[in-house]
Chain A
Amino acid sequence: MILDYLVLSIVLFCLGILGVISRRNVFTVFMSIELMLNAANLAFIALSRLHESMDGQVLAMLVMAVAAAEAALALAVVILLHKHTGKLDTNVFSLLKG
């Protein structure tokens, strides 16, 4: 039973990673990150159920709150980037190149 949940969590997480790595649209990358966070939440809750303690659920709530805050900040950054360059392609933002 618990294994099903964990496998689902891992699958979701890997999909998220795949999205971050392969997609170039800023919004898609952003959604993939959210997917990864929620995959982690699923694992938290499943294990919380298994151990019959509330700790995992509390953490899941915390992650959601952080994700919401992060979404607000990230969207603001995206808007600024769009204003600056007029594009939403992550390949345009390659200032880190050595």
Chain B
Amino acid sequence: MEQSAAYLGLIPLLPLAGATIIGLLHLSSCQTCKLSERTYGILACIAPILTFLFAIKVFLDLHGLPVEARQISYQAFTWFKVGELDIAMGFFADPLSSLMLLFVTFTASLIHIYSIGYMAGDQTFGKFFAYLNLFLGMMLILVLGNGPVVMFVGWEGVGLCSYLLISYYSEDRANVLAGNKAFIVNRIGDLGFVLGMAFLFWAIGGSGFDYISLKANAHLLSSTTISLVCLLLFLGATGKSAQIPLYVWLPDAMAGPTPVSALIHAATMVTAGVYMVARFSFLYSLVPTVGLIVAWTGILTALVSAIYGMYQDDIKKVLAYSTVSQLGYMFAGVGLAAYSAGIFHVFTHAFFKALLFLGAGSVIYALHHEQNIWKMGGLRTKLPITYWTMLIGALALAGCPPFSGFFSKDEILYLALATGNPGIWLIGVLVAGMTAYYTFRMIFLVFHGSPRDQGLFDHAHEAPTVMTVPLIILAVGALFAGVLNLPAIFGGGQVVSHWLAPSLAELHPEASHETEILAIGASVVAFFIGITIAYRKFGSGAEVPVFTGFASFAYHTFRINELYDLLLVRPYKAIGSAIEYFFEPQVTDGPVQLTTWFYRAAGTVFKLLQVGYVRIYAIYMVIGLSLMSLLLSQSLK
């Protein structure tokens, strides 16, 4: 039984309308008639805050329904209808999308507010907020879409906004290239998504192409088709959510403004892939082998990017690799059919990673856009609010009990053990230790010890209230969000898992209490080892290291960019030049030139007929009409 609710359509519409209004205001403004930043800021914050209120309403409405009937939907209009393909612009909310909706609109609201402070003085202040609102609208279409096609609209839309915002400071060529890279790499993933969608439609799309019909018809699919569809969709997810082999764009995406990194490249957009896998859990749960591929890809990505993270010297790059690494955990979770654990990690990660990025933004803002952690140090006294909130975020990321990250990460690791995948569990624990190490390496280098650059240190100052308040709110979230899904062993009720249960086709592996205690114990030990090593090395000041051997290799991210350049970009360019310098002039140009020659010759002949005297044209007319009459009289006979 489905409930209809027209306000669902309003949720994506509000930010899109906001983007249009702000964009038009920005385009129509000139140097002298510019609106004040305050006006733009207030206009921009209306849409996210209203959508957050709507998100609460969606949650409450769903909560009011009986567990089995927790679905509301709204069909705005028929988008297109060709043969069997009948796609409606419809929106659909169930427990899974309502949870996504809540934290997306919540973090988006806070980051919009924070951006008012961070972007102050920017020349194109209005444009920034137009893009940010547009992003939110697209993200909400992605989350609320009632089928793969509508989801794909949002999927591409957020990709576009990501591109626009990465190359936001477009005076610098490097930023534009980073934007291009993100866009092109995502396109490879999108190809997988489109193909997956096409196969799915070809197999069972005829009788309805929305999630509900697909779920009902999933049993008609052969397991080969499901595997193929799931693999192709996962390729899409690796692009959007930065997994091996398509993760290379995310670190470069840090070229964008820091609030963008927090919102798009940490909290919301990059988790779209995890959301998509969870959304298609009714397919993924039928093919455990593909699930294992997903899980192993995830955990290997987590490992590799954690290694990179340990050697970076740009504060945002450290956080970027940690995002890739945490996304790896999420995929390990959903790959092992522990969908609610994966989504719960998405949920807590949104809080603490947005917090860390906004904190990093505050540090960068205080140091006049210095991002190198080797030029920071001792900022604890200068930026107390940033320090304490970031410390909470770091503890949550590193998985320190009882912060939120501990519970969500531990849930995934425990389930890896419970489903009989000790390999994934071992790597996961290792990565947990590495996470603690690189997170606290960053914290110690930035906030502890003595200042490395006295000039920068002297000018540092705490950010304005409009930036610190979102930090504090997010810190509260990072601290307590884990309590929402407290496992039974700590006396909790796993509220989030129970809430999500109707949306997900989840397996519930049985495991002993000893396994659970082993998983928790290992995580805690890994955390303490990581933080201890970090403290020993960086706790009381450290000099800029000279990387050699493996460290240098890791610092250059295993030279993976160079490898891709060598294996993919260069051959591609070589094919391009081969076509330009050989194929085109030698092969195709001939026939093409021949047709132009033919037209030119015909033109020369027909030109003779055009004498320019009206009476000659009259003769042509008479001849033509006579012939037509003749033909007509012939055919009438």
Contact = CB atoms under 8 A, between A and B. Distances in A.
Interface of A: 17, 20-24, 29, 90-91, 93-98
A98 B619 contact: no
Which of A91, A94, A98 has most B Cβ within 10 Å? A98
A21 B607 contact: no
A90 B618 CA distance: 13
B611 A17 contact: no
B615 A21 contact: yes
Nearest to A29: B615
B612 A20 contact: no
Contacts of B619: 21
Main secondary structure of the interface of B (DSSP, over half): helix
A92 to B, nearest CB: 10
Nearest to B608: A98
A96 B617 contact: yes
B622 A98 contact: no
Interface of B: 607, 610-615, 617-619, 622
Contact of B612 (A17, A21, A96): A96
Contact of A97 (B610, B615, B622): B610
Contacts of B615: 20-24, 29, 90
B601 to A, nearest CB: 15
A20 to B, nearest CB: 5
20 contacts: A20-B618, A21-B618, A21-B619, A21-B622, A23-B615, A29-B614, A29-B615, A90-B613, A90-B614, A90-B615, A91-B613, A94-B611, A94-B612, A95-B612, A96-B612, A96-B614, A96-B617, A97-B610, A98-B610, A98-B612
Nearest to A19: B615
Given A22-B615, A29-B615, A93-B614, 20 more contacts: A21-B615, A21-B618, A21-B619, A21-B622, A23-B615, A90-B613, A90-B614, A90-B615, A91-B613, A94-B611, A94-B612, A94-B613, A95-B612, A96-B610, A96-B614, A96-B617, A97-B610, A97-B612, A98-B607, A98-B612
Contacts of A98: 607, 610, 612
- Sorted nearest first, the 4 A-B pairs with minimum C-beta distance are A97-B612, A98-B610, A94-B612, A96-B612
A22 B618 CA distance: 10
A21 B616 CA distance: 7
A54 B92 CA distance: 69
A9 B610 CA distance: 31
Contact of B618 (A17, A93, A94): A17
B265 to A, nearest CB: 61
Contacts of B622: 17, 21
Contacts of B607: 98
A21 to B, nearest CB: 5
Which of A21, A91, A93 has most B Cβ within 10 Å? A21
Contacts of A17: 618, 622
Contacts of B611: 94, 97
Nearest to A97: B612
A21 B618 CA distance: 7
A91 B615 CA distance: 9
Contacts of B617: 96
A93 B616 CA distance: 13
A24 B614 CA distance: 10
Contacts of A94: 611-613
A48 B256 CA distance: 83
A20 B617 CA distance: 10
A24 B613 CA distance: 10
A22 B611 CA distance: 15
A56 to B, nearest CB: 20
Contacts of A96: 610, 612, 614, 617
Nearest to A91: B613
A26 to B, nearest CB: 10
B113 to A, nearest CB: 69
A3 B615 CA distance: 30
B576 to A, nearest CB: 41
Contacts of A22: 615
A95 B614 CA distance: 10
A3 to B, nearest CB: 17
A93 B610 CA distance: 14
A96 B614 CA distance: 8
A96 B613 CA distance: 7
Contacts of A97: 610-612
A24 B616 CA distance: 11
A17 B620 CA distance: 12
A98 B602 CA distance: 14
A56 B117 CA distance: 84
Which of B613, B619, B622 has most A Cβ within 10 Å? B613
B347 to A, nearest CB: 73
Which of B614, B617, B622 has most A Cβ within 10 Å? B614
